[in-house]
Each structure stands twice: as structure tokens, then as C-alpha cells.
Structure 1
Amino acid sequence: MVNKRYPEHLVFGLDIGTRSIVGTVGYKEGRQFIVVAQCVREHETRAMLDGQIHDIFKVAETIEEVKKELEEQVGRRLTDVCIAAAGRVLKTVTVEAEYEFSAETVVNEEHVHSLDLIGVEKAYETLRQEMKEEKIHFYCVGYSVIQYYLNGYSIGKLEGHKANRVGTHLITTFLPDEVIDSLYAAVEKAGLYVANLTLEPIAAINVAIPEKFRLLNIAMIDVGAGTSDISITKDGSIISYGMIPRAGDEITEAVARRYLVDFKTAETIKQACLRKKKVTYKDIMGLSQKTTTEEVIEELRPTVESITECVADKIIELNGGKAVSAVFVVGGGGKIPGFTESLAKYLDLNKDRVALRGEEVLGDVTFLQENIKKDPLLVTPVGICLNFYDQKNNFILVQVNGDRVKLYDNSKLTVADTAIQTGLPNENLFPRRGRALNYTVNGVKRLTRGELGEAAQIKLNGEIVGISHSIEQNDIIEIIESTVGADAKIRVGELTEYKSNITFWFNGTKILCPKFAAVNKELVTEFYELQDGDSVEILNYYTLKQVLEFMDISYTGTIYVNNMPAGEEEKIYENFSIRCEIYDSLEAMRAAERLKNEYSFEAAAEEDGEDEEERDTEFSKQPISLAEIKADDAADIYIIVNREPVKLTGKKQYIFVDVFDFYPFDLTKVGGSELIITLNGEQADFTAPLKDSDIVELYWKE
């Protein structure tokens, strides 16, 4: 044949069956599909069982033989191929999907395609939820629309109509990835690229049951060697798919057992039943035997009836518990005499309602090769080629972190889709926060979030891109997962409720005390780092006993809080006044006497403008340090070290290093990476001068 007889693009389809591989090359011209070349090769070994490839290398060798034969016939190199998967471990999901336009819109082909893909993605998510415990990855190998909806009403075709809302009711078919992976592997080892993948029953039904017949409740059975694939139509749509792993090979095995021959000889005997009256063969003992095909058919009757009974039961199950009106049978396995009659019996149908379909459904198919008989065996191979023109179910291959990944092509694939398909959790693509800290403050639940890490770094063909970047066939993608930020940390002193001091009045003198915080009912400093689950209570009061302990004084007689007698457990809040007679020591009594002489109440009242009744009449309101209360020696001072009062004595002037003579802090024991010293909140050195009421902090930083 001369190349100019063919158009530039030819479709190459492979029906990779359990018993044989059928290759078909052709092109579409109007409604006709022109088959320019065809080749059939049987597997030399049982490299496939029940529609599943077991020996990838053997199947690849047979595919390569078919490819070379077809290339010789057409005079061209074949690189792209359309294939179909048997319905082994087939899963079907029926869903409804809708899309609402922002304004009334004329529906076009793109709108319909997008609507279908919304349904497919919804079905995929439904299946993933159902199968998440089994951790099996599934691929969509096809879908069929049961019904379209226009503004909520059913309609046969959406295109051209004005709509505010469109919807679809469709059935989607999925297969486990091991079925798809083995098909792809065998084809690629034969030097071919998969241009289109569909399901065998989808390919067959598109030829065997044209749309004009789908108003009827009809079943189509593609009886191959390993599987019998089933499709059912009703009310103009394909309503269900199914499969049973029983078909022609089981009949061949029955022949082998009955006549004591190997599988290949048994297949020859079975095929002889289609065209001969007698058959001669050699058994495993090497003895020649002869029998009539009528006898063989009778011997096979129990096996045929067992298979057809299972097929009938599956049809009734898929059809909602009742038989269909008619059955079309395609594929080589259904050609065995008695198959259609037995199936009719189990479906309780007239014999003429169950029939082989070959020449009747291949009317729009023209074979340029001579001596090609239109046969049920050719329905699926032709359907695989024709499915290429629909392009409703296609996959692309990309490489993600060195692994090959197949994705259902919905025309809007992104890097994120590859990450999901490879099982990379969504959170590993975006910056991840460190562990959060949960705690309570004054009984109120509080959460401090951890810090954000860095986002995932994505390279597409060597260039850095975003997670939503579109991808194409054969792209090379590298995903470096996002990082986790630092865990949440917070100290008591950083809480908004925490204030550094509480102010109250003691014998008319303003006193500043550090605020208390309790964590899990134990007092802590402001430097305490909260732990998960901590219960924090910021105390906005002192007990009277704590005030006296903090000031390190004793008293005599009755003690008054806000001019009322009070006990040591009385709570002292902000700006409360305390009045009592100090009787701690001779020095304290002299200090109190001095305060009475130096500060009159009248002078204090002029300065602060406060009423006489609001403060103790015996003392002024001027702030005063603890040192003035506790000592009458001008050379002694009182400071606060790590929230504890400390008296420095014996010198007229003091510097920071003198603190270590009066405060128990062992410099010889290193408790961290750095010694932190602060004076009144500012960093200081050991020579910094100290004065009365200074606030000092000392601690090791980890």
C-alpha cells in the first residue's frame, strides 16, 4: 500500500487481551472508520490471566511483534497507541454535579466538558473516601453521562441552550493502579507511548450499542478470554458497568481436563467447534485422538452454563434486580455454540433476544484489507480506536521526585495535583507552624501559635515555580517539602494580663510590689516559660501577710486595711491602704519616728490634692523606698534582686559586684551559655553604681 492513500494522522489501537493481542490502525472519515491494517498475535505463554498482565516482558514482546507487523503494512513508524483495560476489580461511582453561571449564559462545548470533569473529580473524591482504609490507588478509566440538567430540568443535550445552572448525572469507572501500571509498562517496553486509555466495555458498547438504541434497557457483554465485561443502557444512557472473571479460558481449561491435552491444543479444539464437524489431536501421552465437535460442545455444556449463569446474575444485579430486555454479545469467548442460548435461559428471555453482534454493528467500519470478516472479535479493537476521537478519558505522565506519576488529564492539572497523587500531605506543601501552646490564663483558654516554617520549594523542569503552576506531559517536578517552624514559647512576663507592679499605700507611703503569678497553683517569676496545659493565674492582689513578709517588718496592735480592721489573709488590691504600728526593731521604730517628723500630712495634701479622709492623717503620700523604712544608717541601702529585697551594708557607696556579697548567687557554677545582669531593666556591668530601691536581675541564659 502507498502512504498517500492515508491521511497524515492514523490511530493505532491495541486490544491487549488475555488470550491474544489485536492491533488495529485506521482513521475516521465522516461517520466511517477506515481500517487500513490489522494484526492478531496470540500469547505464546499464559502471560495474562483474567485480564491482568502477569509477565510484562512477554506481553511487551508480543506487542512489539504486532507493532512491527502493522508498521510494515502501513509503511510508517507507529509511536502512539490507544489501549483499553479489562474491568478487573472495576469500581463504579455514580454522582451528580452542578455548575452555576454568574449570569445567564449560552452553554458551549467547553462548559459541558468542564461540567463532566467536575463530576469525575467528585466521583474520584467519593471513591477515595470509601477506600481510604484499604490504601489502594485508583485511576479513572472512563465515564458515561446518564443525564444532563438545564436549570434543574433534564435535557438530552446542553449545548446551545441558555442557562443559569447546568448539572450532570454520570457514572464513572475506576481501576486499581496495578492494572493500569502493568498495561503502561508493557506498552512502553515495546517502544510505544499511550495516547489514550479507556475501559474495554466502554470501547465495545460505543460500537455495539449506538446511542439510538440506548433508550432501551439493553446489556452488552464483551466475553474475552479472561473476563466478561458488562455494560447496561437505559433511557438513553449507560447506567452501569460490571465484570466477572469468567470467560473463554475457563472453557478452554475444561477442554484440556476432559481430553488430556495442553492449553494450546485445547484452544485449537475449542476453535474447531466454530467451523468443523470433527477434530483430530494428540493427547499428553502423544497418542492421536479423534472426536466430533458436537461431542466437544456437549462436554462443555456444564461449563458454559455455569459461566452464563454468573453473567446473568451480574446483569440482574447491575440492572436493579431485574433482567434486561435484550443482550448483545461481543468478543471471541461468546462465540462458543450454546453460549447465547444458555444466557437467554438464565435471563428468562427469548433466544432471539440474546445475540452475537459483529457485522450488524460494524456497518460504519470499512476494512481495506482483503479477507477480513466482520466478527464479534473485532468490535472492541475498533471501539478502542474510535474512543481516541472522544478523548474523554486520558492520562498524562510526569516525573515527581524521580518517580513516574500518571494523572487523569482534566485540562487544568497543577503541581498540587501531582503532590496529591503521590500521597504528599497538603500541609507539607505550605509553611507549617511549630507546635502550639495551649494554656489558661485566669480560667480563660489561651493559644499561642508556633512560628511558621518555610514553604515547599518546587522546581518544574529545573525552574522554581509555585504550587498552582500548570503542568504538561513528561514534565519533571521536584518537590522539597515545607519545613516546620519553631514551637510556641511564651513567658509569664509576656502575657498581656501581667503587670510588673502592684501599688498600695503603707502608713501613707506609696509602695511598689512586683505582681505575683501562679502556675498550677505555685508562685513563679515573670521568667517562667509556660508549658502545654499550664493553668496560669495572674494575681492582682497580695494577702496582708505577703505584704508584711515582702517588707520584712513586724507590727503591733491592730492592722487596718482601708481604715477597717483586717486579718493576715485579707486581700490587698491596687491602691489599697494599710495602716499599722510598726514594731520590728529599734531601727524600724526610729525610722518611723523620723518619717513622722520629716513629712507632714498637710504638706502631702497640698502636693497631691487628696482629701484628708482618703489617707492616713499621720503620714505623707510621697513615695518612699524600703530602705527609708528599714534603716536609719545612711550608708545602708535596700535593693530588689530577682524580686527579693536585699540589704547592702558596710559601705558608703556600692557598685553592682557588691550584690554577690549579700545575695546567694554562685558564679562558679555555670548554669547556661551567658550570664544576664540588668539594673532597672537595662543591661549593666559589674561596675555600675547602685542606689536605694534599684531593681536587679541575675540569671543564666540557656
Structure 2
Amino acid sequence: MMNVLDGKKENLVLGIDIGTRNVVGTVGYRTDEGKFIVVAQTVKEHVTRAMLDGQIHDIGRVAQVVSWVKEELEVQINQPLTEVCIAAAGRVLKTVTCRAEYNYPEETVVTGEDIHTLDLIGVEKAQDLLNEKNDTNYKFYCVGYSVVKSYLNDDLFTSLEGHKANKIAEDIIVTFLPEDVVDGLYSAVGQAGLSVANLTLEPIAAINVAIPENFRMLNIALVDVGAGTSDICITKEGSITAYGMIPHAGDELTEEIVQQYLVDFQMAEHIKLSSTIDDEVTYEDIMSIKHSIPSEEVWELTDKVVDRITSEVAEKIIELNGGQTVSATFVVGGGGKVHNFTKKLAEYLNLPEERVALRGEEVLKEVTFLQEDIKKDPLLVTPIGICLNYYDKKNNFIMIRFNGERMKLYDNNRLTIVDAALQAGFSNDKLFPRSGKALNFTVNGNKRIVRGEVGEPAVITLNGKPANINTPLEPNCNVEIIPSTQGERARYTISELEEYTSSIMTFIVNGRLINCPKFLEVNGVLEPSSYAIQDGDIIENRGFYTVEQVAEFMDVDIDLDEDIYVNNRLADMNSLVYENFSIEWTVKECHIENASYYASDEQIKERKYQESLRGASIGLGNYEQSSENDFDEEVEKKVELESKEISEVNEEAEAKEAEAKEAKEAKEAKEAKETSDDELEYSDTPIEVEDELSETELYFDVEYQDCDTLEETFDEEYEKMDEYNSIFEKNDSRKNDIDLEISYDLKKNLDEVKDSSYNVNHGENEESEEEKEIIVTVNNSPVTLTDKNSYVFVDIFDKINFDLSNSQGRGIITTINGRDARFTEEIHTGDKIEVYWKEM
């Protein structure tokens, strides 16, 4: 045998018929002349009733039997076996007949791949029809199909391959079984160390051997009688026209024998089989008593069961054949060998007895067995047919499990996980992370966008191991995809805007430069720093404060009994104060010292320099808004003060301070004398002194420039404020009388301003972070992509009309600038993209 196998080992095919009673394994190969050579074969009975009615009930026990068959065959051929072809059966069989069509863009030569793709179109259409009519709780899976008729440009043709056509079509019959039936088979052979190379239906496998194509012009029925089911198919006019099944077969005969003769199931099987070949049957019952009975007694016992089974088989054949009987019937399978089975079936079909016959040795003429002890028997028809079916369906499809659902994919040797996802209708939005909804608004007329949070990418595994969308698929693999997520929508507050944190206004308060942040109005309404910006908001800097707001910002308590001046004009707390305006007021209480809002040394120097360029060494506030006379008087006054030496100012300040001290002591002395209320009235000397001091206060007044135009950042100015204040207050004679101490809240706010930064990905108004628009050419048509700052290939599917789930067995072709494209590849303006289904 080894000499015969030389050079053939790589072409060997393993077929296993996992039946209700037996597991039959066959190893062989097909010659160039079409003959099938069986090089090894073995049969093993189930130890227990691990299968019922063609469906696996105990996967572990069935796997043990399959493993034993595999090991026995490996010994016979002296090489390991890794792949297996199997066939399915079961009591819940569904068939759907439909028409599949495909139109070519232009006249094209039909290839074998085109025909396979047409088959898949038919399978998918049948699956859709079954899902619409499914009135059960089962989820069905395609286990086989047969082409009834083929059409070339609507004309009936026997074979389409090689012809030129504008349109091809076929009538196809597709068979389905519940997924749990298929899953049981896959699990059993998987535990035995085998992977499934091909799956078919048992009657399809049997008919490949029992009814050759040259017989199929006749109206013939094939009945595969097993232990649990009787599978049926009908041929007519050269094609298989129908499939069916009844859940009754040989095991019901065995159960009748068990009850009658008080034996276990194994002994009952022995009695049933012996009665078909011997005149007398010997057995031992459960009481260990031996018996011998004539075979006729067994026939009489099982006659009623045989009658009932053949009656139901005949009814099903007539139903599948359009209400009329067939011309002949072939019976295969071990159950068909029961006494009188073919005779009674012929009676119910109204056929002569010779037209209902067992098919064994007669149909195995083209099969050669290298094992001398093998007898050609109906039991061998189905396992050999399983092997032959592999050649007809080789490499057409691979089967996988996608998120728990079994799928069949046309195998082009380039399948990846993304192909499975597309055929399963898994949206590309679920494959790639999605950003949360962006926030669009305008600030001072400029468009601003804040990106949402980025979601989590899809989690992809292949057979439990991490994978990605480009990982190649393997037959019978298990693909799991946890969809990607969408990130949180964008959130932003006023306090996070650069215009709030670094855009400032400058006022002159009692002769000092004060920096205040610019208020922001949202849709014309002043909003606090905690305001959450909404999509479409229009935000603008407000160019003024009120006197009251300035006081609140500085955290000072104003004496409302004294006059308030804005630009030397009488004002009140509601008066508006614009950039560079001066404010004069009397402070009752102030808790701020070295406050951060005081102007920096650099600001003061810059202001003085700008004023000198205008020909004025000192300025107070917004001169354009002051009267001309007030301006002249103020300038003269300040010029006069500036001309004094600093030492003179200090001497004058010391004198006034001494005078104020003496006045204070005099007042205390008068109060001690308990004089009358009129005598107790006393001029507010310290305040008068303070007012006088304010007139002689020395400071540097320079022109303020908006922070947007300064090269220095707000943070740099913030760091210099303390330095200026310490220099300024060194010469301030009021420092001993007024304790300036910054409040906790103001410190906190200013620290937040200083530490804040405008995140590039959250609203920075840089050109590079604006929404980017690109224009690419897709299938010779321009396509514009917006709403992102970069784009990948898969983004085009949001802009074009292309149904990714409509593969119909075709591979998807994606190119960019003439080369193969990846779904995650970045695209740019001017790229030429093609996306289309691979035509047949």
C-alpha cells in the first residue's frame, strides 16, 4: 500500500460519516480519470446512545469515537490526519428554492469563480427568505445546496463556464439545519483534533455516489435510511429538485426488539442485523440467559414499525415530487437492509418491487478499495460521497464564527477580519473609535471648535487572541469584536477661554494702574466664568466695567458718602469705565496688599514710553473722553508734580504724616474731656491728609497696550506684578495706614488664571486645529470631507453610497492612487480612490 500512496499523501481526503449508530471513516483520493481510490476505512459503533435522530447529544462521547476512528486510519496510512469532511443530518431540516441572478457591466466570459459567486448570491437570498418565514426558535445555518437549473442570458444551459454572457442566473435549492446541530458536529471533531475542511448534507453526499449525473434526467428518489433519520432527495430533468427528511429510521426497530426480548440496546442491534443475514439469531438477555430464535420471528416483530416508516417515507417522496410518485427509488444506508423495507416502500409508492432497490455494490463500480477485506455495502455510500463532495466544493468557502454567529465566506485566499465584519453588516463606525460631539462657537467673530473626547477602539480577538482588522482569517476560526465606543461630547467653560484668562483691561484707580480681566458676553448676555459654553454660542469680550464691578474685583469697600470720579467727572457705582479710564474714590476698608492686579513694572515703563512718544509725559485715563479743559489742567498738575525731586516729595509726605498724627492725638484728648456733642465734632483730619497725599502721590503712568498685541504673555506679566508693587509702595506714605492684603478668593482666581493653558486639542484657535476640508476623487467623482483635521480611508464610506453588507460573495477592491489601500491609511486632497466589488 505504501508504494501505491507514494506521491499521493498530500492529496488524501478524510471523510467521516457521524451517524446515529456508527461512525464510518474513509480516506482516499480521486484520480485524474474521475475514479475514487479508498486507501483506508474503518467503522466504530457508539458505546452509548450519544446521538439521537442524527443530532449529537453527548459531544464528549462522540468525540471519543471520532478520535478512535481517526487514530485507526492514521495507523493504516502511516501519516497524521488534521482535516476532515463531514455531513450533517437532523430532524429539523429546512429547504428553500430561489433564483439567483447577476448582470455583468459588459459582455464577459464566465469563469468558475463567477459561478461560485452566483451560488453564494443564491445562498444569501435563500437565507433571507428563510429568516422571513422562520416560525421556530431555531437559528438556521446552510449545510448544503444544489443548482437545479442554470441560465445564460435567460436561456437554459447545462454548464455556464467559458461562455460569454451579459447575465447569468440559476435556480438553486438550499438546505438548512439548526445551528446547534452544526455546532455539535464542529465541537466533536474539534475535540478529536480535527478541523472541518468541508460540510455537506447527508443526502447530497449520498446522491453523489448513488445517482450519477447521467441518471438524473430520470425522476428518481434516493432514500438514505440511517439509525435516527431517513433522508430523501429527488432528481428530475438532470438536477436535484428537492430534499426532505423524516425523523424515523432503524433505531425504532431496535427499540422494539429491546422491549420484546429484554436485552440492552447493543444486543438488540445484534439481533436486528443478524436477522437480515442469518436464518437463526442467538442472543443473551439481561438475566444472562441465552436464547436462539428464528429470524422470521424478528421480522414479524418489526413488521409494524417497518410498515409505518416506509409509509411515511413514501408520503414524503410524493410530497417532494409535486404530488405524484417517482419512476424509481434507490435505498442506501444500514437501515435500508431491514427485511421487507424495500418491498413495503414499493407498495406505498405504487411501483414494481424491482424499481425500489438497495444500492451498494452497483453504485460503487467507480470506487476502488485497496483493503482486500472491504465489502461494498450500502453503509459505505454516504462516507464515500462525503469525500467526493470535497472535490466539488474544494476551497469555495470557509466557515467561521463571528460574534457567536456561524458564517460562510467565499475564500479568495486573502480574507481578513474586516471582510468578515463587512459581510456580517458590522458598521465601520463600530470598528474605529469615534470622537464625541464637537463644540462649535465663535469668540470675537472667530470660529472656534473644541473636540470631543476620543472613544475606545474596537477590541478584536481571533480564537481568543488579540488581533486587528487586517488579521487573516482561518477556517473554523472564532472572531469576536467588541464595538468601539464614542467619546464624551466636548465640554468647555468661559474660564477656560484664553480671551478670559489672558485678555485684560487697564484702569487707573486712585493713581495706580489696575489690570482687570475682560468680561465675556455670551449671545449678548454677561455670563460668569463657570458658564458651560453651548454649541453655536456667540462670545465677545465686553469692553467696559461698572465702577461697582471694579470695586468687587479689587475687593475694596467704597465710602459711598464721598464723591466718586470717573475721568474727573462725578459718577456713581453704575457708571461705565472703559479701557484707560481713571477712577477716584475713597476707600473705607481694603484687605489687599501687593495685589496681583497692580500693573507690572514693565507695563508702567511701556506706558511712560508711549506717552513720551505722544509728547506727553503723563496721562490719566481716556483723554479723548475727558473735556479739553480737564485734560489740560490734569496734565499741568502732573507735570508740576513730576518736576519735583523725589526727596522733596518724601519730606512733604513725612510732614503731612506728622501733622495727621498730631491731629489724631488732639482728637483723643478732646474725647477724654467728655465735652458736648458740638465740641466733639472734629474735622476728618486723617482722611483730609489721605486726600492730600493722593494729590502728591508719585507714580509712573504709561500707555496700556491690550494683551493680545503684547509679546509678553499674561503669565509673564503676572510674575512681575509683585516686583512693581513693592517698588511703588516703598515711596507710598499711606502704606502704614492702609493694610493692603489680597483676599483668598481673589488669589485663587488669579492663580487659576495664571496656571491655565489653552489646550491645543480643546479649542485653541490655531489654523492647524481648525476643521480641515479635503477633496478626493472616488470612483471618478469628487468627494468633499469635512468635520475633521485628518481623514483615513474608511471615512469615505460616510460620504459615498456604497453598501458594505452587500458583498454577495464578492471581494471588495480598494485602491488609492492605483495601489492597494488599507482601511486605516490617511488620505489627502487630490488622492484618487477606487472602491468596488470584484466582478465575476
Cα deviations across residues 404-437 of structure 1 (Å, max 9, x unaligned)? 9875453363303555899977643233464799
- Structure 1 residues 338, 94: CA separation in 2 closer, same or farther (over 3 Å shift)? same
- Answer yes or no: is the 8 Å Cα contact 2:13–2:28 preserved in 1: yes
Secondary structure of the structure 2 residue equivalent to 1:273: helix
Partner Cα distance (1:329, 1:657) in 2: 103
- Structure 1 residues 649, 156: CA separation in 2 closer, same or farther (over 3 Å shift)? farther
Cα deviations across residues 662-684 of structure 1 (Å, max 9, x unaligned)? xxxxxxxxxxxxxxxxx999999
Percent identity over the alignment is 54
Partner Cα distance (1:188, 1:87) in 2: 20
Partner Cα distance (1:356, 1:382) in 2: 16
Code of the residue aligned with 1:330 in structure 2: it is V
Q: Partner of 2:3 in structure 1? A: 3
Give 1:315 shift.
2.7
- Answer yes or no: is the 8 Å Cα contact 2:195–2:476 preserved in 1: no
Q: In the alignment, which of 575, 582, 606 is matched to residue 637 of structure 1?
A: 575
- Answer yes or no: is the 8 Å Cα contact 1:109–1:159 preserved in 2: yes
Give 1:100 shift.
2.3
Worse-superposed segment, 263-272 or 386-395: 386-395
- Structure 1 residues 168, 394: CA separation in 2 closer, same or farther (over 3 Å shift)? same
Q: Choose between structure 1 and 2: higher helix proportion.
A: 2
Cα deviations across residues 201-247 of structure 1 (Å, max 9, x unaligned)? 11101111222222333221111111111222233222222222211
Partner Cα distance (1:648, 1:360) in 2: 121
- Answer yes or no: is the 8 Å Cα contact 1:407–1:421 preserved in 2: no
Code of the residue aligned with 1:98 in structure 2: it is E
Code of the residue aligned with 1:410 in structure 2: it is D
- Structure 1 residues 283, 98: CA separation in 2 closer, same or farther (over 3 Å shift)? same
Code of the residue aligned with 1:61 in structure 2: it is Q
- Structure 1 residues 374, 488: CA separation in 2 closer, same or farther (over 3 Å shift)? same
Secondary structure of the structure 2 residue equivalent to 1:119: helix
- Answer yes or no: is the 8 Å Cα contact 1:23–1:38 preserved in 2: yes
- Correspondence 1:111 to 2:114: yes
Give 1:262 shift.
1.6
Q: Partner of 2:55 in structure 1? A: 52
- Structure 1 residues 131, 526: CA separation in 2 closer, same or farther (over 3 Å shift)? farther
- Answer yes or no: is the 8 Å Cα contact 2:360–2:381 preserved in 1: yes
Q: Partner of 1:505 in structure 2? A: none
- Correspondence 1:63 to 2:1: no
- Answer yes or no: is the 8 Å Cα contact 1:197–1:393 preserved in 2: no
Cα deviations across residues 379-408 of structure 1 (Å, max 9, x unaligned)? 10110111121125876577989x998754
Q: In the alignment, which of 212, 226, 229 is matched to residue 227 of structure 1?
A: 229
- Answer yes or no: is the 8 Å Cα contact 1:143–1:393 preserved in 2: no
- Structure 1 residues 537, 10: CA separation in 2 closer, same or farther (over 3 Å shift)? closer
Q: In the alignment, which of 210, 227, 247 is matched to residue 245 of structure 1?
A: 247
- Answer yes or no: is the 8 Å Cα contact 1:87–1:200 preserved in 2: no
Q: Choose between structure 1 and 2: higher strand proportion.
A: 1
Partner Cα distance (1:112, 1:131) in 2: 28
Give 1:24 shift.
1.6
Code of the residue aligned with 1:383 in structure 2: it is G
Q: Partner of 2:38 in structure 1? A: 35
Q: Partner of 2:263 in structure 1? A: 261
Secondary structure of the structure 2 residue equivalent to 1:191: coil
Q: What runs of 5+ residues in structure 2 fail to find an aligned partner?
A: 440-449, 495-519, 539-565, 588-594, 599-705, 722-748, 757-840
Aligned runs of 1:402-481 on 2, under 5 Å? 408-411=409-412, 413-419=415-421, 427-432=429-434, 434=436, 453=455, 455-456=457-458, 467=469, 470-473=472-475, 481=483
- Answer yes or no: is the 8 Å Cα contact 2:90–2:181 preserved in 1: no
Q: Partner of 1:212 in structure 2? A: 214
Code of the residue aligned with 2:22 in structure 1: it is S
Partner Cα distance (1:517, 1:198) in 2: 70
- Correspondence 1:303 to 2:305: yes
Partner Cα distance (2:130, 2:437) in 1: 33
Secondary structure of the structure 2 residue equivalent to 1:274: helix
- Answer yes or no: is the 8 Å Cα contact 1:81–1:193 preserved in 2: yes
Worse-superposed segment, 230-239 or 186-195: 186-195
Partner Cα distance (2:2, 2:306) in 1: 46
Q: Partner of 1:547 in structure 2? A: none
Give 1:264 shift.
1.4
- Structure 1 residues 436, 53: CA separation in 2 closer, same or farther (over 3 Å shift)? farther
Partner Cα distance (2:62, 2:532) in 1: 66
Partner Cα distance (2:490, 2:243) in 1: 54
- Structure 1 residues 417, 54: CA separation in 2 closer, same or farther (over 3 Å shift)? farther
Q: Partner of 2:155 in structure 1? A: 153
- Correspondence 1:102 to 2:105: yes
Cα deviations across residues 457-477 of structure 1 (Å, max 9, x unaligned)? 657899998636643448797
- Structure 1 residues 347, 373: CA separation in 2 closer, same or farther (over 3 Å shift)? same
- Structure 1 residues 301, 405: CA separation in 2 closer, same or farther (over 3 Å shift)? closer
Q: Partner of 1:498 in structure 2? A: none
Give 1:452 shift.
6.4
Partner Cα distance (1:114, 1:10) in 2: 27
Partner Cα distance (2:359, 2:574) in 1: 115
Q: Partner of 1:339 in structure 2? A: 341
Partner Cα distance (1:130, 1:488) in 2: 46
- Answer yes or no: is the 8 Å Cα contact 1:22–1:40 preserved in 2: yes
Partner Cα distance (1:177, 1:351) in 2: 39
Aligned runs of 1:364-383 on 2, under 5 Å? 364-383=366-385
- Structure 1 residues 656, 474: CA separation in 2 closer, same or farther (over 3 Å shift)? same
Compute the TM-score of the two structures, normalised by the length of structure 1: 0.66
Partner Cα distance (1:323, 1:435) in 2: 67
Aligned runs of 1:580-659 on 2, under 5 Å? 633=571, 637-638=575-576
- Structure 1 residues 232, 634: CA separation in 2 closer, same or farther (over 3 Å shift)? same
- Structure 1 residues 128, 348: CA separation in 2 closer, same or farther (over 3 Å shift)? same
Secondary structure of the structure 2 residue equivalent to 1:187: helix
Partner Cα distance (2:463, 2:281) in 1: 62
- Structure 1 residues 466, 77: CA separation in 2 closer, same or farther (over 3 Å shift)? closer
- Answer yes or no: is the 8 Å Cα contact 2:141–2:406 preserved in 1: no
- Answer yes or no: is the 8 Å Cα contact 1:3–1:75 preserved in 2: no
Partner Cα distance (1:330, 1:392) in 2: 25
Compute the TM-score of the two structures, normalised by the length of structure 2: 0.56
Q: Partner of 2:659 in structure 1? A: none
Aligned-residue CA RMSD (Å):
5.3
The structure number with the bigger radius of gyration is 2
Partner Cα distance (1:103, 1:420) in 2: 27
- Answer yes or no: is the 8 Å Cα contact 1:93–1:172 preserved in 2: yes
Q: Partner of 2:332 in structure 1? A: 330
Q: Partner of 1:386 in structure 2? A: 388
Code of the residue aligned with 2:381 in structure 1: it is V
Code of the residue aligned with 1:471 in structure 2: it is L
Partner Cα distance (2:466, 2:82) in 1: 32
Partner Cα distance (1:475, 1:462) in 2: 10
Partner Cα distance (2:434, 2:34) in 1: 56
Q: What runs of 5+ residues in structure 1 fail to find an aligned partner?
A: 438-447, 493-513, 539-626, 641-646, 659-678, 688-697
Q: In the alignment, which of 145, 165, 168 is matched to residue 166 of structure 1?
A: 168
Partner Cα distance (2:325, 2:532) in 1: 74
- Structure 1 residues 118, 424: CA separation in 2 closer, same or farther (over 3 Å shift)? closer
Secondary structure of the structure 1 residue equivalent to 2:165: strand
Secondary structure of the structure 2 residue equivalent to 1:246: coil
Give 1:336 shift.
0.8
Code of the residue aligned with 2:3 in structure 1: it is N
- Answer yes or no: is the 8 Å Cα contact 1:279–1:291 preserved in 2: yes
Secondary structure of the structure 2 residue equivalent to 1:483: coil
Partner Cα distance (1:46, 1:372) in 2: 26
